[in-house]
Chain A
Amino acid sequence: MTTPISSAPQARRLSWNNPGVRAIFYQVIALCAVGAAVWFLVHNTLYNLSVRNIASGFDFLSREAGFAIGESLIEYGPADNYARALTVGLVNTLRCAVIGIVCATILGTIIGIARLSKNWLIQKLASVYVEVMRNIPLLLQLFFWYAIISETTPGPRQALNPLPGVFLSNRGFKTPWVTGEGLSWLFGGFVCAIVVVILLARWARKRQEATGQIFPLWRVATALLLVLPAAVWLVSGTSLSLDMPVLKGFNFAGGLTLSPEFAALIIGLVVYTSAFIAEVVRSGIQSVSHGQWEAAGALGLKNSLALRLIVLPQALRVMIPPMTSQYLNITKNSSLAVAIGYPDIVSVVNTTLNQTGQAIEGIMIIMAAYLSVSISISIFMNWYNKRIALVER
C-alpha cells in the first residue's frame, strides 16, 4: 500500500530510498523464494519417482482400466481404457452437480420465502429447517441418508412393488423407461418446444409493452412442452417401447435405475445446500427497501406480483454473487460421493491411482476437472450478473 511519494528526479536514482527500487527487489526475492521452493519439490518428486520406479506421464490413460463402474451415463465396460473411466467419473460428477444445483435452488428459494412468510408456523418451520440442516456436516448427512436408504429398504427379492414395474429395494429405485428410436424424436420435439416458448415469450413481452395486452404465457408454454414432443414422435412414426425392470438373480435388469448412493448424495447435497440458499434468498429479499413493497402496493399489485415484478428483480442483484459461491460449493461438495461409494471423478481417480500408482497425474486430473468446472460456472454467473446488473444513466 505504499503510494509513491517520491518526486521525479529521485525515482530515476538507483537507491534504497526509492520505493520503486525496493519494490523490484522484494518481488525478485519473492519470485526466487517461490521458484526455489517449486524446484525443491519438483527435484524431490523426480528423485522419489525414480527410486520407486514410477514412470510419470499420462501414457497410462490409454491402458485398459479393468475395473467396473457401478453406474454411468455413457457406455463403459472394464475393457475400456482409463481415459474412458475418468470421463465416466466426470460425467457422474456433472450429473450430480447439475441436478443438485437445480433442486437446491428450487427448494432453497421456497424455504427462503417461507422464512419471510407472515404465516407464523411456516416461518418457524423454515427457520428450524435452516438452522438444523446447515449446522450438521454434509458428510454426516450423507452417511445418515445412505444408512436410512440402504437399511430400511428390503433386498431385491423382497423388493417393494408399489406400482407395476416400479421396484424399491436396497439395489435402488427402479422404474420402467422408454427406449427405441422414438426417444430421440421425443427429445428433438422437446428442444423445438423450448425454442418456440422462448420466441413466444419475447413476442408476448413486446406486445405487452406496445399494447398492454397480457398473453397467457404459462398455460400456452406448458401445453406446448407437453404436446409438441408427442406430436413430433407421432409424425415421425418411429417405435417406442417400455423397458420394464425384471428380477434376474440377485439384481434387476433393464429399466431406469436410481441407485441408493446417487439418491443419498442428491438428497444430502440438496437438503444441506438449500439451507444456505434459503439464507441467500432471504437476505436478498430483505435487502430490497421496504418502500419498494409499499410503492408496489400503491400501484395496486398483489403481494405475489409485487414479489415477482418489483422485489425479486432487485433482490437478484444482491443474490447472484453469494448464489454463485453456493453453486460452486455444490460442485465441490459432490466430491464427498467418494465416502459413500458413488463413482464420481474423485472416486474413479482414487481407484486409478491405487491400480497404477500415478498419484501426481491423478491428483492433477481431479484438480483440473474441478478448476475447469468451477471456472465455467463462475464465467456463466458473472455473465448473468452483468446482464441483470443495475443499468444507470
Chain B
Amino acid sequence: MSSVNTTSTAENEGAPSKRLSVWAWLRTHLFSSPLNSLLTILSVWLLLAIVPALIEWSVIRSNFSASTAQECRSTGGACWAFIIEKHRLILFGLYPYDEQWRPLIATGILLGTIILSGFRRFWNFWLVVIWTVALIAVAILMWGGVFGMKFVENNLWGGLPLTLILSTFGIAFAFPIGVVLALGRRSNMPAIKAICVVYIELIRGVPLISLLFMSSVMLPLFLPEGMNIDKLLRAQIAIVMFAAAYIAETVRGGLQAIPKGQFEGADSLGLNYWQQMRLIVLPQALKIVIPPLVGIFIAMFKDTSLVVVIGIFDLTQSGKAALTDQTWRGFSAELYFFIALIYFVFCFSMSKYSQSLEKRLATGYQR
C-alpha cells in the first residue's frame, strides 16, 4: 500500500523529490481522511495517557539505590533497587554464590556460539564441531568436579543459563531427530511413514505442559528399577521430544520444495538413499528452512519458561523466587518488566535476524 505518489513526468526533469514538507507529510500520513484523523487523535490521546505515566513510574520517580523496601516504596515509582539487590538470584538461581562466575561464563559461551551460528561463513561442518565443543564446555563449567572446580548438582542450576541450556541443548538434540522424522514421513515405506506420522501428530496435538508432566511423573515408571533420571534431564527430554516434532514438520516443508528432478538426478548418479539425502537433498532443503527453524528456536526459548510448572528454576521461576523474600514484597511489576526485557531482547534480535536472513535467502520474484 504505497501512499507516496511517484509517477514520473518528463524525462529531463528526473524523478520528483520524495521529500515532503512537514504539513504535506502530516496530511498524507496522519490526516488523509476523517476516519484517519479521528484514529490519529485517539491514538495520540492514548499515548499521552500511557507514556508520560510510564516514564514517570519507571524513570522519574524510580529508585535505584534504596537499601530497604520501605525506603523504596516511599518514592512512589518503580523500585529498581529491588532488581539490583536480587539480580544474582534472578539471573543465576540457587547456584552457589561464590561459584556464580561459572554460569556467567557458560552463558557467555552459549551466547557466543548462538551469535557465531548466525554468520553464514560458519554454515558448514565446523558448526557441528563448534557446537559440540561449546556444549561440552558448558556442561563442564556447570557441573564442575574437575580442574579444581567444586561439583554442583544440577538441581541448584537456575536462571538465565538454565533457560539458555534448556533451549540450546533442546534444539541441538532435537534437530537430528527432527530431520530423521521428516525423512521418515516422506519415506515410501508405509510402516516407517506410519510410525513417524503417529509420533509427529501425537506430539503436536498435545500441549508442552502435558509432556512435562508426563516426563516428571511417568518417566520414572517407564524405567527399570534402580535407574533414575533427575528432574532437569527429564524436562530436557520432554523439550527435545516436543521440539523434534515441530522441527520435523518444518524440515518436511523444505523437503517438499525440492523438485523431483533432484532425486532422479541423484538416482542416475547411482547414489544410495543416505548418500542422496546427505549430498543432494538435505543441503538444499535445510537452506530453505533456516528462517522457520530460527522461528522454532525463538518459540522454544519462550516455551522453556513452562518448566516452571514442574518446579525447575529457570529465569521465570528464579524471578518468582526473588519475589518471595519477606523483606522485599510487592515488587512483581518491576520483576516481570525486567524478565520480560531479557526475553524480549533475545527473541526480538533473533526474529530480526531471521527476517533479514529471509530477505537474503529469497531468490524469487519480489514486488
Residues of A within 8 A of B (CB): 1-3, 5, 23, 26-28, 30-31, 34, 41, 44-45, 47-49, 51, 116-122, 125, 131-132, 134-141, 143-144, 147-148, 151, 289-290, 293, 332-333, 335-336, 338-339, 346, 350, 353, 359-360, 362-363, 366-367, 370-371, 374-375
Contacts and interface: CB of A to CB of B under 8 A. Distances in A.
B44 A121 contact: yes
B326 interface: no
A151 B320 CA distance: 15
A366 B210 CA distance: 7
A25 to B, nearest CB: 10
B303 to A, nearest CB: 7
A23 B43 contact: no
B148 interface: no
Given A2-B273, A137-B302, A371-B202, 14 more contacts: A1-B276, A1-B277, A118-B28, A119-B29, A121-B30, A121-B40, A122-B43, A135-B348, A139-B306, A335-B209, A336-B209, A359-B217, A360-B221, A363-B213
Given A47-B225, A48-B221, A360-B221, A140 B316 contact: yes
A335 B305 contact: no
A198 B206 CA distance: 35
Contacts of A2: 188, 267, 273
Contact of A367 (B210, B225, B263, B333): B210
Interface of B: 1, 3, 28-30, 32, 36, 39-40, 43-44, 47, 186-192, 195, 202, 205-210, 213-214, 217-218, 220-225, 263-264, 267, 273, 276-277, 281, 298, 302-303, 305-306, 308-309, 316, 320, 330, 332-333, 336, 339-340, 343-344, 347-348, 351, 367
Nearest to B3: A118
A353 B347 CA distance: 36
Given A47-B225, A122-B40, A23 B316 contact: no
Nearest to A325: B204
Contacts of A49: 221
A151 B210 contact: no
A302 to B, nearest CB: 11
A139 B308 contact: yes
Contact of A118 (B1, B188, B189, B332): B1
Contact of A143 (B214, B273, B336): B336
A119 B26 CA distance: 9
Contacts of A289: 367
B133 to A, nearest CB: 29
Interface centre among B195, B205, B208 (most CB of A within 10 A): B205
A371 B40 contact: no
10 contacts: A28-B191, A121-B44, A125-B43, A134-B347, A135-B351, A136-B347, A140-B340, A144-B336, A336-B209, A339-B309
B206 A370 contact: yes
A34 B210 contact: no
Contact of B189 (A5, A26, A350): A26
B190 to A, nearest CB: 7
Given A1-B263, A119-B30, A371-B202, A135 B343 contact: yes
B69 to A, nearest CB: 15
Q: Which 10 A-B pairs have the closest CB atoms?
A: A135-B347, A120-B29, A332-B207, A27-B191, A137-B302, A147-B332, A335-B207, A359-B217, A144-B336, A137-B305
Contacts of A138: 302
Contacts of A366: 206, 210, 213
B206 A367 contact: yes
Nearest to B337: A144
Contacts of B210: 335, 346, 363, 366-367, 370
A118 B43 CA distance: 14
B195 A30 contact: yes
Contact of B225 (A51, A131, A360): A51
Contact of B305 (A125, A139, A147): A139
Contact of A350 (B192, B213, B267): B213
Contacts of A23: 188-189
Contacts of A339: 306, 308-309
A336 B306 contact: yes
A131 B47 CA distance: 17
Contact of A333 (B207, B218, B222, B225): B207
Contacts of A335: 207, 209-210
A350 B214 CA distance: 11
Contacts of A28: 191
A362 B343 CA distance: 33
Contacts of B298: 135
A30 B192 contact: yes
Nearest to A48: B221
Nearest to B264: A3
Nearest to A144: B336
B120 to A, nearest CB: 24
A35 to B, nearest CB: 10
A69 B222 CA distance: 31
A103 to B, nearest CB: 19
Nearest to B37: A119
Contacts of A147: 332-333, 336
Nearest to A147: B332
B218 A363 contact: yes
B347 to A, nearest CB: 4
Contacts of A338: 209, 309
A1 B303 CA distance: 34
Contacts of B192: 26-27, 30
A179 to B, nearest CB: 36
Contact of B32 (A119, A134, A137): A119
A341 to B, nearest CB: 11
A140 B343 contact: yes
A141 B305 CA distance: 11
A151 B218 contact: no
Contacts of B316: 137, 139-140, 143
A120 B47 CA distance: 14
A298 to B, nearest CB: 17
A122 B47 CA distance: 11
Interface centre among B32, B191, B224, B343 (most CB of A within 10 A): B191
Contacts of A367: 202, 205-206, 210, 214
Contacts of A120: 29-30
A183 B302 CA distance: 44
B221 A370 contact: no
Contacts of A371: 202, 205-206
A136 B39 contact: no
Contacts of A362: 217
A255 to B, nearest CB: 29
Contacts of B29: 118-121
Contact of B344 (A136, A148, A151, A360): A136
A137 B305 CA distance: 7
A44 B223 contact: yes
A227 to B, nearest CB: 30
